[in-house]
Amino acid sequence: MGDAVTATLRLGVIGAGAMGTDHVRTITTAVPGATVTQVHDRDAVRANQVAQRAGGEVAASAEELIGSDEVDAVVVAAPDATHAGLVLACIDAEKPVLCEKPLAVTAQDALRVVEAEVAYGRRLVQVGFMRRYDPGYVRLKETLAAGDLGDVRVVHNVHRNASSATSATGPGIITGSMVHELDTVAWLLDDQVVGIRVESPVKDGLPDPQLATLEMAGGALATVEVFVNARYGYDVRCEVVGTAGTAALARTPSVSTRTAGVEGVEVASDFVIYFADAYRHELAAWTRAARAGGVDGPTAWDGYLANLVAEAGVASLASGTRQAVAAAPRPTLYDGIR
């Protein structure tokens, strides 16, 4: 694709489950300059439903979709284990790709993506760390950048889901859920995780909730509680503690009810509702950049770093010990991007 802004970006979407369906809905209803031309899912019925709703066609395979002349750029929303391979295929086809988090399941696979992009010589990959587009997190980062909190010492994070799939695993909670905070804390503080410890009070069965302590290169500490079967709803919190004050995400706008002698505020049921604005801003920014021939937002390098910390977290959960995190040298392709 050249530097000129293309009329309409023709998108191929791989994976038509919860996230793929929601992304297609967002693209077709709220993202200017993009249209979904092809959908692929291993489940042809789902692919067909989503393609029909978007006015696009079903692609028989991911390879066919990525190579199609009808597709300028690709959204990957298939399961985690497919991500690295699909992103490598997009780089091979020289097409921009927005890949849902995590970039890969292992740091080694994420590094393969980084190496392929570096060999190509230009960014094509954006990782779906959509919290960087959430108005609350953006405001929090602006508050830190303004310096009003003094030196940041601690970041507290809470990440709760109402329920997880029955197939959820201890490592999967780190690689699939905690990975958001592993990226967010590094992005907020413009710093890197150098050590991690993950524990769970549940020793028999699914280790849920989990509590992580992150050590940042700059000396700050972060806590992350992830609880994927918290039952009561979807809840994400973040408070930054500095030497001159604190700043925290405020509750999303809601309604407070008073009935039968009880005052209550509703809690979102899931991420699709809680982060709707973040997904919309993410898709819009990615589309804008791709139409202009570029890529914006979280890089493959960010994806690799998050995978690396997650991998150390998985080792910590298994061993009960603190794990050091040592990244490969950062390629110059990613210099100056935050």
Binding interface with ligand NAI (CB under 6 A): 14-20, 40-43, 46, 62, 77-80, 82, 100-101, 128, 130, 176, 271, 275
Quick one: 58 or 116, whose CB is closer to ligand NAI? 58
Instruction: Look at residues 309, 281, 273, 268 and name the one whose alpha carbon lies nearest to residue 139.
Output: 281
Instruction: Look at residues 71, 99, 78, 97 and name the one whose alpha carbon lies nearest to residue 21.
Output: 78
Q: Distance (Å, rounded) from C-alpha 268 to C-alpha 254?
A: 9
For the sheet with 193-199, list strands across it: 245-248, 235-242, 152-160, 221-227, 210-216, 193-199, 323-324
Cβ at position 46, least distance to ligand ISE in Å: 17
What would the x/- binding string for ligand ISE be over residues 142 to 171, using CB under 6 A? Answer: -------------------x----------
Which helix (H) or strand (E) element contains residue 33? none
Single-letter residue type at 300: A
Cβ at position 295, least distance to ligand NAI in Å: 17
**314 φ, ψ (degrees, to nearest 5):** -65, -40
Quick one: 105 or 216, whose CB is closer to ligand NAI? 105
Binding segment for ligand ISE among 51-59, 172-180, 243-251, 256-264 (CB under 6 A)? 172-180
For residues 233-262, which are near ligand ISE according to CB under 6 A? none
Cβ at position 20, least distance to ligand ISE in Å: 12
For residues 47-66, which are near ligand ISE according to CB under 6 A? none
Residues 285, 276 contacting (CB under 8 angstroms): no
Residues 257, 263 contacting (CB under 8 angstroms): yes
What would the x/- binding string for ligand ISE be over residues 203 to 232, using CB under 6 A? Answer: -------------------------x----
- By the rule CB under 6 A, 177 interacts with ligand ISE: yes
Cβ at position 234, least distance to ligand ISE in Å: 7
Cβ at position 96, least distance to ligand NAI in Å: 18
Q: What is the DSSP string of 95-158?
A: --EEEESPS-SSHHHHHHHHHHHHHHTS--EEEE-GGGG-HHHHHHHHHHHTTTT-SEEEEEEE
Quick one: 66 or 295, whose CB is closer to ligand NAI? 66
Residue with tokens 């602006």: 142
Binding segment for ligand ISE among 68-76, 173-181, 196-204, 206-214 (CB under 6 A)? 173-181
Cβ at position 208, least distance to ligand NAI in Å: 17
Q: Distance (Å, rounded) from C-alpha 113 to C-alpha 92?
A: 11
Single-letter residue type at 178: M
Residues 254, 265 contacting (CB under 8 angstroms): yes
What would the x/- binding string for ligand ISE be over residues 258 to 287, using CB under 6 A? Answer: -------------x----------------
- By the rule CB under 6 A, 21 interacts with ligand ISE: no
Structure tokens belonging to residue 262: 């009880």
Cβ at position 87, least distance to ligand ISE in Å: 17
Structure tokens belonging to residue 52: 């029909």
Residue choice 56, 96, 170, 176 for contact with ligand ISE (CB under 6 A): 176
Quick one: 177 or 307, whose CB is closer to ligand ISE? 177
Q: What is the DSSP string of 264-333?
A: EE---SSHHHHTHHHHHHHHHHHHHHHHTT---SS-HHHHHHHHHHHHHHHHHHHHSS-EE--PPPPPGG
- By the rule CB under 6 A, 76 interacts with ligand ISE: no
The contact set with ligand ISE (CB under 6 A) reads: 161, 176-177, 180, 228, 271
